[in-house]
Every structure is written in structure tokens, then in C-alpha cells.
Chain A
Amino acid sequence: MKLEDDFKSFLVFLSMFDNTYLKNQQIIDSLGEDVSLKHFCKSKFDGILTKENLDKMKERADINRINNYYNNMLDSDIVLLTKFDKDYPEKLRDLPDAPFFLFCRGDLSLLNEKALAVVGTRKPTNYGRVVTNRIVGDVAREGVVIVSGLAYGVDSIAHRKCLEVGGKTIAVLGAGLNEIYPAEHISLAEEIAKKGLLVSEYSPNKKATKYSFPQRNRIIAGLSDGVLITEANIKSGTIHTKDYALDYGKNIYSVPGNIDSPLSELTNDIIKSSQAQLVTKASDILVDYNIVKGESGIKKAEKSLNYQLSIEESAIVNLLKDGMKEIDFLAKNSGLSISDLNSNLTMLEIRGIISRLPGSIVSLN
């Protein structure tokens, strides 16, 4: 594909530099009617760009170079959306600090679907893992798009669970699409690109910086219709996502936790200060989203615990009903020998009824 020197190619050119949305707007505005490379090279941008920055930009204002950059992007299946495109998500368009560019890889239709952002700590406790898995699984099964940030912890658990139940998920990155951070999640990102969508406001080869992550949180908040926080402490970056969501008027859902658990500090605090709605199960959110209606709908959405269980299996499940337990506890109280216990636990795990967590802990899903 070859670009001519026109409005579109100028936007592609502009996307190379990762300027702030404000600066980009000012550059376009000051070019007036004739938005083109030629005009750009002739213009001075006093008070907008420093001499150094302008020189750097002018140096690269070459149509061949831009074509090269653009074709590289197409080769890696990256689509560039700008505020002027009709595909640009409506949810973001009216935000005061809407991203000027969106680099996307994957299914663009997800941008306009009903979505729930799921965010939280990078180091969840076993409680956080279980709760995130449980709620995300139930919400994603109903077709709600799960938006998160591909970070460690709650983010990646949410993405993985969503993919596992066949749901759709969007990952908003704090770096360029070719610079997946953290590197451990590259294969997860590839899977999301195939079955969901990767989004970034940074040019494909831009590396992550300390400041890019809080910035991407505003896109997470913006793309969603509500934000679910499952576990986060008071210093967590999650607080940015929550603040943006409040600014944008989105609903915030928070999962309460033990008052002496540091990782439930933020979630409990925002419930206390009425910033967030308390949720204990997926249907709380689904009712808000008008996806399930009435008592019967709620019942249907809730996964019932009516499995066909053998005697041994139900002995284990009954012990787990009031919370997660250690294996040693089960060995002592289930009346099963350790070998029977182990084989029954595996069978329950394969059927998705329980999970085994770090620290020899077993929990109902």
C-alpha cells in the first residue's frame, strides 16, 4: 500500500512520535486547512514544539520513510485508528483526554461492545485469585468483553480466565504493540491478538516507561462500561484506573475483603466512601448491565453447585463450602486416605469444580 501526501499520511507521520494528545491536536489546528507534510515542513510551531523537537520531526518528514513505517505496521497486522476515523470507538471519542491514536491488533468490533474492566494488584492472594477467576468467568460467559492491562496478577488472571471460557477480551498496553511488557506475557498477548484485541496508544516500537502505565489506565477505564476491582492495596496503580473511571462517570464495582488484609484495603475503602458498588457475585454486575433481569435470570446466571458427585467427592466439596482449605486439613477431616484424596482432588480439578492454589490450598471455583 502506498500513501500520498495527504491528510491520512500526515496522521500516520504524526503517530510516529508519541506526542501527547494535546500537542497533536495543536499541530493539526495550526496547520489549518492544508494538513500535509509539505505544509508541515514549511511551518513554524512557536509555543507548541521546541526547535529541537521540530527539527527531529522534520528530519523524518519523508514520504518514503512514512510508507516504510506504515507497511511495517500492516505486516504485523496492526491497524491504526485516529480520532478522525469512523471506526474509532465512540466510548473514547468524547473524553477530554481521548487518545489521539489507537494502535490495534485483533478484532476491532470489540471496541464498541459492552465491556467490563477488571483490574487489581499484581500480587493477588489466593482469595484474589479465586474471586477474580469466579466473577470474570461468569461475566465473560454472558458475552461481556473483559478489558484489562496484561500486567501480572489480577490482569493476567482475568485475561486467561476469559479466554478459557471462550469470552472476548481486550488488553490495553502501556507500551507499543511490538514491545509486550512483561515479556512473560508475550504468548498470552499473541493469544489475545488472535481471539480478542490488543490496544495501545503508543507507536509499535515504543518501550514502556514509568509514566505510560498510569496513562494507559485511562483507556482501560474509557473502553469499559464499568470497572471491577477484585483486590488492590492503597498504593496500587489501580487507584488511577478508579479515578479515571470516576471522572468518566463509569460504575465501579468492588469486591470486599478481610479488613486486616492489606490487599483488600483499597477495595474496602472505596465501598466505605460510596465510590464503588459492593459486588459478591457476577450477577450483581450482570443485572447492572441489563444482561440478566429478574430473580429467575439471576438464578440462571449463577452457576449452581449441582454436580454429580461421588461420595468421596462430595465429602471433599462439603468441607470446602465454607472457604478454602489446606490439603492436610482435608486429609484429616474427609476420612479419605491420602492417595484417595489426591486422586479425587485431581478429578474435581479436571471437572473445574475446585482449584489448587500455592501453599497446598484447595478452593471451590
Chain B
Amino acid sequence: MLSKVKSFGLKGIEGYPIDIEADVGNGLPHFEIVGLADTAIKEAKERVRSAIKNSAFEYPTKRITINLAPADIKKEGALYDLAMAVAILSCNSEYKIKNEDKFVYIGELSFDGSVKPVRGVLPLLISARELGYKNIIIPLGNKEEASYITNINVYGVKSLRQTISFLCGEEELEPIKSCEYSSLQNNDDYDGLDFANVKGQAMAKRALEIAAAGGHNLLMVGPPGSGKSMLAKCFPSILPDMTFEEALEVTKIHSIAGELDLKKGIVSTRPFRSPHHTASTVSLTGGGANAKPGEISLADNGVLFLDEFPEYSRQTIETLRQPLEDGVITVARSNATITYPANFTLIASMNPCPCGYRGSKDRECHCPPSKINRYLAKLSGPIMDRIDIHIEVDNVTYEQLRSEEKEESSKEIRQRVNKARALQAERFKNSKNFCNAKMSVAQTKRYCKLDSMGEAMLENSFNSLKLSARAHERILKVARTIADLEGCQNIEARHIAEAISYRNLDRKLWKE
């Protein structure tokens, strides 16, 4: 007997259909899986056999061959278990299974016959919908993920037994109800990481607000304990609300990486990733034999925070160059070449010198000048070219810590950020990019026109502050964002002046 059912495999963040063919015929009892399956799939035979037996079905004492087609693509993971079991049972006419070929099956089996949640359900569902599949059976544990996909029928199943009863028409199953994304928004879920709890640091907060409004990358320089990490952790709370499309993209990547909270099903807050500086290059960019997404892709539409920036290996820092420019990373490995989105805002922090106390009012720095220069030189020009804002963060005094003055909350700041982003959305509605930081040279020329006062200001500043040439475009972009925050059409001299004040590392006295 032969039967054929559908399942879905994952290539990067895209799904592709797989035919699962089962042939149950005469011969010595044997179970064979063909079609470039990895170890997890090969081991499926044990799970499938036990699950069938323990669900009180009869396991055929025949020669069973499963084919995964197309046979030339390498497949991995345990998500084909359910499809295989259904295919095998369909070969037994005793069970009267009907319409088994109308469904797509995704799910891992347990020995007791229950269906366990798997990674990557959301991207699979999205691809299945695009390819015109209407009915999909997934593990019940993944139902939250599925609830944001409309226009198709997704059924969540608990066990193999329930799946078969459903197919035989003995049990009715309701498709998973779709739920409104907007109900999740405004659910401020930042674990108390709110700027209302950060005392002082007016300068840093303002710079972070600008970074959030324009999507600018930012570098914080300050002694240990000055609150750089705290500021960075609060940063996602002032980022603009995620649109549904953005949320889906983020959820896809998190789903593939197995980092998704199954209870929530969708990532509705912007991700904040802070890999340690000993992290390997591959863990940041993504890779491994099957080209898994790395930290920078997990930070897509969110924040990548690199603490102690110069401590990362040179190679690791340099690999950030392409994604910072293009918003994507292409991971090429032996089995796959995959392009993942990596559209993140980079927040980096560093000490002003190796010992950390240069310029600090509390302690004396003991670093020889040559060592300081070597430390600062670790930030190569091309990387600094991609960081628009650098600011200094200093220790907060005790009085500031104890002051009862109320600080502005993240919510208030976010409202301003959202307004500025709306202006940018209008400006860039016909182009690929969506924020000021990603403007091309031509766009910068077009949207960052200066009046004569602004021109004069910029020229004077280059001469008297000895700014480096690469600062020029950065300043224009940041000035554009500052003007947007104020709702101004034109960039004025004061906007330029403020933008210049966020170029600390370009200052000559800083390097003496």
C-alpha cells in the first residue's frame, strides 16, 4: 500500500513543501527513511513506532519505507514525525482515514503518542499560506504562534490519536481563532526598564531619544558603573511600536532559533540582544552546518548591545560592517546559503581607556598614553563610520540618585519618537529604507538641505573643532532627525549645532 501526505521543511526563514510518501509492503519487518534525512529524522522511526503502538493503533509488521521528496534537499529536525505516522496509518484501510492528503502535518511525536511543539511553526505557516495550502495541522503547543495567521485553517492537535479521529471524522476540531495584534500593543512589557527609573543622565537620554527616532547607531563612552548598560537596556522601551509586519519578521527568526516564548506566540516588543564579548563571530553572524540565525538576526528590528565594544575581537567587529550597511546578513555554509534580515540598531559601550577612569572625577587613570591610543585604535575607521552618535556618560552623583525629581517616562519619550518616525515614514514612503540613519548619499543630499546659516555653522565647526571628514554625513543625518523630533521641515543651524555635540570621539582634545 502506498500513501502520500504533505509536510513543510525550513530553508532559512522560508518554508518549502515536502511530500512524505509511505510504502508499506510485504517483506521482513523493517523501517527505512530515504531522502537526505539528518539524524533527528532517522531516529524518527523509533518515535513513530512507539507513538503508533502506544496510541492503541496496530503497527504494521511489514516492510515500511518512507521517502521525503524532493530527495535532493537536506532535511533536518523532528517536525516530520506526525506526517510519517499519518502516512503509515493511512496505508491501513481498517482505520478509514479520509482526506489525509488535504492537510499539511507538522509536529514531533512523543513515545506516548502526544504531539510536541516544534521550532519554526510561524515561518512555515506563512510560507504555506503563500503557496496556497489551506489546511494545516500543527502541535497544540504552537497554537499561539498560529493565531496571528489569517485566511487559512490551522488545527492544533494534542496527540496522534486525536489527529486520526479528526481525519476519520470521529472528532470535530475548530480551527485556531486568529487574534488581533493590536491587543498586544501598548502592553508595556519592559520589566521595569523605564527611563523614569534612570536618574540624571539628561545628555545620554537625549542622545538615545535621537538614536531611537532616527534609527541611528550609538556609542557610549564612560567609566565603569556610570550606567551605560542600564541606559542601553532601557533603550528598547523608547523605540517606536513594532508594526505587525515587523513583529512577524522578528517572530519568524526567533521561531527558527527556538527562542520564541510559546505562551505568547509572537514577539511584540523589540528584541534586545547583548552577546558577551567572548562570543564567537559565528554566534553573532549566524552559521553552523545549517546556517542558523545569529545574534544580529535575532536583534532584527531591535537593539544589538555590545558592551565593552573594544574587547570584542577585531574580526567580530568587522563582520558587523555589511549588516550595518545593508540590513541583511548572508550566511554561506556547506549545506545552505541563506540571507537573514539583520536590521538592528547598534548600541555600543566602552570605557574611555583600558583602566576605565580617564577623565573621571572620582579616580585617577593609570594608563600610559600609548596604551590609551592603542585601545581607541581598536575601533577601526569603517566601523566608526557607521556609528552616528557618540556620547560620554559619567557617574551620577549621590544627590542626583537621591533626588525626588520626577524623570520623564519612556512612554512620553516614545510618543515623540513615534511622531518623528511618522514623518520619516511619509518621507521615505517610496523607498526601501524607513529611517534617517539609512539614507543614501543621494537622499541625504535631497532631504538634508541647509540654509546659509547652517552651512556656515558646519564649515566653521569643521575648521575650529577639527572634525574628521567622515563626520560630515553623520552630522547631517542626525540633524535631520533632531529637526524631525521638533517637527521642523528645514534643518536649522541649531539642529546642526546639536548634532555636532554628539561627535565626542572626533574632538581633538579627547585624543590628547
Q: Is the interface of A mostly helix, strand, loop or mixed?
A: helix
Say whether, besides A343-B497, A344-B497, A355-B509, A328 and B203 are in contact (CB < 8 Å): yes
Nearest residue in B to A130 (C-beta to C-beta)?
B509
Among B478-512, those with CB < 8 Å from A are 482, 494-498, 500-502, 504, 507-510, 512
Is B461 on the interface with A (CB-CB < 8 A)?
A: yes
Q: Are B495 and A338 in contact (CB under 8 A)?
A: no
- Name the contact of A328 in the complex, choosing from B202, B502, B504 (C-beta under 8 A): B202
Q: Which residues of B contact A327 (CB under 8 A)?
A: 202-203
Is A346 on the interface with B (CB-CB < 8 A)?
A: yes
Q: Are B394 and A326 in contact (CB under 8 A)?
A: yes
- Name the contact of B369 in the complex, choosing from A152, A349, A351 (C-beta under 8 A): A152
Q: Are A123 and B359 in contact (CB under 8 A)?
A: no
Is B194 on the interface with A (CB-CB < 8 A)?
A: no
Q: Which residues of A contact B81 (CB under 8 A)?
A: none
Task: Report the separation of the CA atoms of residues A349 and B359 in the bound assembly, to the nearest whole angstrom.
Answer: 19
Q: Are B465 and A349 in contact (CB under 8 A)?
A: yes
Task: Report the separation of the CA atoms of residues A165 and B205 in the bound assembly, to the nearest whole angstrom.
Answer: 36
Among B175-208, those with CB < 8 Å from A are 200-203, 205-206
Q: Which residues of B contact A124 (CB under 8 A)?
A: 512
Q: Are A331 and B498 in contact (CB under 8 A)?
A: no
Q: Are A359 and B512 in contact (CB under 8 A)?
A: no
Nearest residue in A to B397 (C-beta to C-beta)?
A328
Nearest residue in A to B403 (C-beta to C-beta)?
A332
CB-CB contacts of A289-317 with B at 8 A, as 1s and 0s?
00000000000000000000000000000
Is B392 on the interface with A (CB-CB < 8 A)?
A: yes
Q: Are B465 and A350 in contact (CB under 8 A)?
A: yes
Say whether, besides A123-B369, A358-B352, A360-B394, A346 and B461 are in contact (CB < 8 Å): yes
CB distance from A289 to the nearest CB of B (A): 27
Q: Are A122 and B498 in contact (CB under 8 A)?
A: no
- Name the contact of B508 in the complex, choosing from A160, A326, A352 (C-beta under 8 A): A160
CB distance from B218 to the nearest CB of A (A): 15
CB distance from B466 to the nearest CB of A (A): 9
Q: Are A342 and B359 in contact (CB under 8 A)?
A: no
- Name the contact of A350 in the complex, choosing from B394, B460, B494 (C-beta under 8 A): B460
Q: Are B501 and A345 in contact (CB under 8 A)?
A: yes
Is B373 on the interface with A (CB-CB < 8 A)?
A: yes
CB-CB contacts of A327-341 with B at 8 A, as 1s and 0s?
110011000001110
Q: Which residues of B contact A356 (CB under 8 A)?
A: 501, 504, 507, 509
Instruction: Give the interface segment out of B17-25, B46-54, B122-130, B360-368.
Output: B360-368
Say whether, besides A182-B370, A346-B500, A358 and B392 are in contact (CB < 8 Å): yes
CB distance from B195 to the nearest CB of A (A): 13
Task: Report the separation of the CA atoms of residues A355 and B512 in the bound assembly, to the nearest whole angstrom.
Answer: 13
CB distance from B131 to the nearest CB of A (A): 51
Is B334 on the interface with A (CB-CB < 8 A)?
A: no
Task: Report the separation of the CA atoms of residues A335 and B499 in the bound assembly, to the nearest whole angstrom.
Answer: 20
Task: Report the separation of the CA atoms of residues A160 and B508 in the bound assembly, to the nearest whole angstrom.
Answer: 10
Task: Report the separation of the CA atoms of residues A326 and B495 in the bound assembly, to the nearest whole angstrom.
Answer: 22
CB-CB contacts of A154-184 with B at 8 A, as 1s and 0s?
0011001000000000000000000000101
Nearest residue in A to B203 (C-beta to C-beta)?
A327
CB distance from A133 to the nearest CB of B (A): 8
Is A95 on the interface with B (CB-CB < 8 A)?
A: no
CB distance from A316 to the nearest CB of B (A): 12
Q: Which residues of B contact A326 (CB under 8 A)?
A: 361, 394
Q: Which residues of A contact B392 (CB under 8 A)?
A: 358-360
Is A347 on the interface with B (CB-CB < 8 A)?
A: yes
Q: Which residues of A contact B337 (CB under 8 A)?
A: none
Is B158 on the interface with A (CB-CB < 8 A)?
A: no
Q: Which residues of B contact A352 (CB under 8 A)?
A: 464
Q: Are A343 and B498 in contact (CB under 8 A)?
A: yes
CB distance from A165 to the nearest CB of B (A): 12
Q: Which residues of A contact B203 (CB under 8 A)?
A: 327-328, 331, 338, 342, 360
CB-CB contacts of B438-473 with A at 8 A, as 1s and 0s?
000000000000000000010011001100000000
Q: Are B460 and A328 in contact (CB under 8 A)?
A: no
Nearest residue in B to A124 (C-beta to C-beta)?
B512
Q: Are B457 and A350 in contact (CB under 8 A)?
A: yes
Say whether, besides A338-B203, A358-B359, A156 and B512 are in contact (CB < 8 Å): yes
Q: Are A343 and B369 in contact (CB under 8 A)?
A: no
Is B358 on the interface with A (CB-CB < 8 A)?
A: yes
Is A73 on the interface with B (CB-CB < 8 A)?
A: no
CB-CB contacts of B332-376 with A at 8 A, as 1s and 0s?
000000000000000000001000001111001100111001000
Task: Report the separation of the CA atoms of residues A122 and B509 in the bound assembly, to the nearest whole angstrom.
Answer: 14
CB-CB contacts of A81-124 with B at 8 A, as 1s and 0s?
00000000000000000000000000000000000000000111
Q: Are A346 and B352 in contact (CB under 8 A)?
A: no
| 10 A-B pairs with the lowest CB-CB distances in the bound complex, closest first | A358-B359, A359-B359, A343-B497, A152-B369, A343-B498, A346-B497, A342-B501, A343-B494, A338-B206, A342-B498
**Interface pairs (9), CB distance under 8 Å:** A327-B203, A328-B400, A342-B203, A342-B501, A343-B494, A350-B460, A350-B497, A355-B509, A356-B504
